[in-house]
Amino acid sequence: MATQAKKTSRDGDTQGFKKLIEIGIALSAERDHHRLMERILLEAMNIYNADGGALYLCTEDDLLKFEIMRTNSLNVALGGTTGKEIPFPPLVMRDKETGEPNHANVCTHVALSGASVNIANAYEAEDFDFSGTKKFDAGTGYKSKSFLTLPLKNHEGSVIGVLQLLNALDGKTGEVISFGTELQPLIEALSSQAAVALDNQLLLEAQKKLLDSFIELIASAIDAKSRYTGGHCQRVPELSMMLADAACRSEEPVFEDFDLNEEERYELHIGAWLHDCGKVTTPEYVVDKATKLETIHDRIHEIRNRFEIAKRDVEIEYYKALLAGGGEPEKLKNDMEGRLAELDDDFAFIAECNLGGEFMDPEKIDRIKEIAGLKWMRTLDDRLGVGHAELKRKNRSPLKDLPVEESLLSDKDEHLIHREDGESFVEDDRHGFHMDVPEHKYNQGEITNLCIPRGTLTAEERFKINDHIVQTIVMLEKLPFPKHLKRVPEYAGGHHETMIGTGYPRKLGKADMSIPARIMAVADIFEALTAADRPYKKAKTLSESIRILSFMKKDKHIDADLFDLFLKSGIYKTYAEKFLKPEQIDDVDIARYVGAGGG
């Protein structure tokens, strides 16, 4: 008989250990924070056949916060995956004024001491204050009797939470009994496993939160760096996720195989937030270049001073001629005033050209070059007091004896900024970039800049701005993204590509791009069109922006199916109501655009 009893005991222990192992494997595999906590509580209730229980987590400010509550007989299920808030305030572990530990409450005592407490009958317990429990019972008709409260300790031995079971039930009669000590080692082993799994989950969530915050910090810094970008980096992710979710819901054949699980949605979310991270390498004076001659300062002031000197020279020549008696005074004066008026007119013309515009007539370019032939006299060494880099550029040309006659406008060798070692752009490298690269890094030639046909940017400056996407890809591909985030560089780096291989930096086509990467292009363009915080342009209306997008669809610059989905799903309207100014939101006849052309 004794042998049989020992065998039965060993079988029970074996089953218990087997169950513990199964639970441990399940807990380690669970990725969702709320499901994990719920699983911990439910498994513990199941082992002891408990009617109820709760799980608390310690906070940084010495509180025990309710996370999960269950009472089967009352049909109470709060917290966790239920989405129902727990109405009870957190438990205070230490007095805020005195710092005294709260050992009156059994849960806070367990959290502070790290020791389990098994109470057979709360109504007879003298060591702890159960007045709150009794008040709950009085209001519900429930009878909270037996309690088993255990600490959840992480691998460092620190208590991160408390697991409390309520009212163990007799398996045969259903009556409330005490929590037997024979199962307590098993439940404590479970709580230890649960604590490690939960702590790992909390650490992962903390790391994820830190990553998200750091990424959003970078995006916010890029937006703050230039008044021209506004909240672009923050709005594009929202629009991208709206369109991605619509594609997941769509029953259109083109999207029937497209879906994103939780990790894939997060991957796109990160890619969208980082899509312009390369802009940290773009100089502000290029992004914000308001006039053709602007670098870190506007060089129109240098040219104005040269014109001032040229005017003074005209006046000096006039007075010298008078003193020398070299002509009729009236004629000399008229010649001087005529020449001064010409210089005033020439400078006004140069100043107007400096502002840029939609198109510059060839006649204006010819006049700029003609004015460039006018001379002024420099009597001071222009290599004194300059920085090392500028001096190095000036020293490419031989030093001339002073005074030196120079042109009012010029393209000098020193205006060409060469690419340094490590700045060369290699075509067909390991990143697969295919871009038309200017010979020089920058060309600050005055004539060259004033003759820019559209806008204020040279070819070199446009390349530098476009280079932000190259830098985005290079930066992101250097990061050791985990497996579930490996496509972040692809998603972030494809929003300037087109469906026909005319974009940059890789000249990809539709077949080369995933749906999320194509989504990014639509979101990036629509946000830029509708942005109302760009000081250099008037905010476009909703209908104007949709019309421009429709042209891009027709030219195969954006995905036609995504554009149609963007309209049919109503996302354009949802986004507009959230981010556009009321005066921008007008009626859009989407029937004009859906299905019309594109590819």
Domain locations in the chain? 11-205, 226-289+458-592, 300-417
- Residues with Cβ within 8 Å of 385's Cβ and at least 6 positions away in sequence, in order, are none
10 or 506, which is more confident? 506
Mean pLDDT comparison of 39-48, 339-348, 588-597, highest-scoring range: 339-348
Query: How many alpha carbons fall within 13 Å on the CB side of residue 401?
Result: 0
Tell whether the model's pLDDT for residue 7 goes beyond 50. Answer: no
Residue type, 579: F
At residue 283, the 3 state secondary structure works out as coil
Query: What number is the average pLDDT over the span 223-248?
Result: 86
Tell whether the model's pLDDT for residue 8 goes beyond 50. Answer: no
**What's the pTM value of the predicted model, to 2 decimals?**
0.75
Query: What number is the average pLDDT over the span 135-164?
Result: 90
Query: What number is the average pLDDT over the span 159-163?
Result: 90
Placement of tokens 């380690």 in the chain: 28
Q: What is the pLDDT of residue 20?
A: 55
Tell whether the model's pLDDT for residue 6 goes beyond 50. Answer: no
- Residues with Cβ within 8 Å of 57's Cβ and at least 6 positions away in sequence, in order, are 37, 64, 65, 67, 160, 161
Q: What is the pLDDT of residue 599?
A: 42
Cα separations (Å) of 189 from 153, 177, 186, 204, 210?
11, 22, 5, 23, 31
Q: Annotate 76-130 with DSSP letters as a single string.
A: EEEEGGG-PPP-SPPEESB-TTT--B--SSHHHHHHHH---EEES-TTT--SS--
**Pairing between strand 50-58 and 159-169?**
antiparallel
How many whole angstroms from its chain centre is CA 506? 23
- Fold (topology level) of 11-205: Beta-Lactamase (3.30.450)
pLDDT band at 2 (very low <50, low <70, confident <90, very high): very low
The tens digit of pLDDT for each residue in 531-572 reads: 876 555 677 899 999 999 999 999 999 999 999 999 999 999
Placement of tokens 């400078």 in the chain: 347
The tens digit of pLDDT for each residue in 213-225 reads: 988 888 888 877 7
Region 226-289+458-592: CATH code: 1.10.3210.10
Average the pLDDT over each of 81-90, 228-237, 356-365, 492-501 and give the range with the smallest value.
228-237
DSSP state of 114: -
- Residues with Cβ within 8 Å of 440's Cβ and at least 6 positions away in sequence, in order, are 416, 417, 418, 419, 460
Q: What is the pLDDT of residue 205?
A: 82
Placement of tokens 């194509």 in the chain: 518
DSSP state of 85: P
Tokens of residue 488, six digits = 């972040």
Rounded Cα distance between 243 and 238, Å, is 9
- Residues with Cβ within 8 Å of 191's Cβ and at least 6 positions away in sequence, in order, are 44, 150, 151, 152, 153, 163
pLDDT band at 450 (very low <50, low <70, confident <90, very high): very high
> CA nearest 354: which of 302, 290, 306?
290
The tens digit of pLDDT for each residue in 358-410 reads: 788 999 999 999 999 999 999 999 999 999 999 999 999 999 999 999 999 99
408 or 126, which is more confident? 408
The tens digit of pLDDT for each residue in 324-341 reads: 887 898 999 999 999 999
Tell whether the model's pLDDT for residue 19 goes beyond 90. Answer: no
| Residue 377, beta-bridge partner list | 405
For all residues of the chain together, what is the average pLDDT? Answer: 88
The tens digit of pLDDT for each residue in 36-80 reads: 778 888 888 888 899 999 999 998 888 999 989 999 999 999 998
Give the whole-number percent of the chain exceeding pLDDT 70.
91
Q: Annotate 336-386 with DSSP letters as a single string.
A: HHHHHHHHHHHHHHHHHHHT--S---HHHHHHHHHHTT-EEEE-S-TTTT-
Rounded Cα distance between 336 and 339, Å, is 5
Rounded Cα distance between 242 and 202, Å, is 28
pLDDT band at 293 (very low <50, low <70, confident <90, very high): very high
Q: Annotate 400-469 with DSSP letters as a single string.
A: PPSSEEEESS---GGGEEPPPTT----TT-TT-------SSSEE--HHHHHT-SSSS--HHHHHHHHHHH
- C-alpha gyration radius of the chain: 37
